[in-house]
Chains A and B, each alone.
Chain A
Amino acid sequence: MLKKLASRWEGYLFVFPAVIFMLALIGYPLIYNLVLSFQDMDLQALNLGESSFLGLENYKVLFSDTVFWISVKNTLLYTVGSVVFQFIIGFLLALFFSLKFRLASFLRGITLVSWLIPLTISALLFRFMMGSEEGIFNQLLMSTGFINDPVPWLTSPEMALWSIVLVNIWVGIPFNMLLLSTGLSNLPEDIYESASLDGANVFQKFFHITVPLLRPVILIVMMLGFIYTFKVFDLVFVMTGGGPVNSTEVLSTLAYRYSFNDFEFSMGAATANILFAILFLVSLVYLRMIKKDEVM
């Protein structure tokens, strides 16, 4: 009896340090964020150490701010655009590298470099390549005669968001490809063999065998892609800073701007809470999905 009790306590000793750490640095801030968003916390209030209660006032201000709605729209466009294309390209590459040839797994592996180098670096690198005069994109497109005038990748309000989406797709492809490759390698081969015997062509096999069997992995990849893209900050922050004229402002950069350019911490907190609420809903769907096939 005593021994059993002891062993139970030992378990908690192993688990708790990390749990307490996460509760202090994530749990507490989340709750405090909520409190902040009902207050009037700015730089002055921070120094005084007291701020007054405002109720829902910050949210009212936020919802009547056109920039807020622009950044909601941009966040959604950005996320959907990125997720769809990095999935499609990632899937095509996963299929290609699932063909058996010598360098396949090596080559698939090194593409991960684009996912691993710091986002600040990728952002700067593409800012260089998308430069209107010296950028290699325009230089290549113009010297091959595809265009006559330089493309204003990051300087035009109509294009800037999509240019950043392009970079995000580049960053996200390896991750999608890697997960889909793992899924593909777990598919049973004998089904394909019997389908071939029945005379199925490549496309029939893909749409009638691969896609249905891979459905759980596909859903998880799309969901994770959504979650990871929705919180984008660094790319926008470094590439355009939200401009030109708010055309690339997303929820996370808006929250940052409120808190650390204008020092209106409560407005920043309110914006962050909206971002969190949307992500939380999507995460619930994701958690339901993985709960089905995991050992939780």
Chain B
Amino acid sequence: MNKRHKEWLLNIIGILIVFIFLFPVFWMIVTSFKTQAEIFQTPPTFLPSEWQFGSYQEIMQNDILQNFMNSLLISSLTTLLVLVLAVPSAYGLARFSIRGKELFILLFLVTQMLPATVILTPLFILFNQIGVLNSYIGPILACATLGIPFSVLILRTFFLGIPRELEDAAKIDGCNPLSAFLRIVMPLAMPSIIVCGAVSFFFTWGDLIFSVTFNRSQELWPLTAGIYNAIGQYGIEWNSLMAFATISALPVLIIFILLQKRLVKGLASGAVK
């Protein structure tokens, strides 16, 4: 087998592996365009015999738009909160001599591993006491605890790699640490900050447990909670459920496609270090 044949063969095997692996995602999308009769047909059809959009129309009549806006609002605000807190913190841990620095880094490392269910009960009681149940505040605060440790750890590694001379030069030119940080370091760190923002967005977008626990009112529910609720409502109307699922996964897929290379790199470096 010569080199070119081998290259071809590897590419084809690779595509096959990825297709089989991602078949469930393909199946989700395809099913959402099928009729109910076609879903139960044996043998199954690979592609819809006729593409129909009825499932999408049906779920639109439900509150999916409200769910979508809630997801968008909760995830965006959480991401903003994460970045506002995590970026300076990561910078401080990378640049300043701070007493107890190791302890703080440890704090972020440990909290990253904490299951949501461990803090769920005490947070519920705390939020009840301060009166933020049944609002967007509960899920936003809780979801920010997922993104902050991740972002601090990744960004700190990044800041450590920026030569200190850049800021020193800025300080000689009369910048104080804050403006040196904002004007010199932040622009350099933008790609990494975007990765952290995207990951925090994904974490929050995927949250189910915080929203359903802290908010009884369904008007505040994100897509994940809406879909969980819809399981009971639609039963085995799988085309509608898969349409719901497709819409819920869509923003994640779009952001992923836009940022693919950066995300893969950022995740790899962040998780190992």
Contacts and interface: CB of A to CB of B under 8 A. Distances in A.
Nearest to A31: B122
B191 interface: no
Interface stretch (A19-27, A191-199, A205-213): A19-27
Contacts of A136: 27, 44
Contacts of B107: 19, 22-23, 27
A118 B128 contact: no
Interface residues of A, number: 104
Contacts of B209: 233-234, 237, 256
A279 B242 CA distance: 35
A279 B177 CA distance: 39
Contacts of A265: 121, 124-125
B148 A22 contact: yes
Interface stretch (A52-60, A123-131, A151-159): A123-131
Interface in A42-82: 46
Looking at chain B's contact residues, the main secondary structure is helix
Given A103-B11, A110-B18, A117 B252 contact: yes
Contact of B10 (A99, A116, A133, A259): A99
B22 A110 contact: yes
A143 B43 CA distance: 7
Contact of A30 (B42, B118, B124, B272): B118
B271 interface: yes
Contacts, number: 294
Interface string B9-25: 01101110110011011
Contacts of B149: 22
Interface size class of B (residues with CB under 8 A): 35 or more
B145 A121 contact: no
Nearest to A92: B17
A237 B118 contact: no
Contacts of B84: 17
Given A10-B177, A269-B121, A128 B14 contact: no
Contact of A179 (B21, B141, B256, B268): B268
A275 B92 contact: no
B39 interface: yes
A245 interface: no
A272 B118 contact: yes
25 contacts: A8-B97, A25-B145, A33-B122, A110-B18, A110-B22, A110-B260, A118-B248, A118-B252, A120-B208, A121-B28, A122-B24, A127-B231, A128-B28, A128-B31, A133-B40, A143-B42, A182-B268, A230-B115, A231-B115, A260-B213, A265-B124, A275-B115, A275-B118, A286-B113, A296-B105
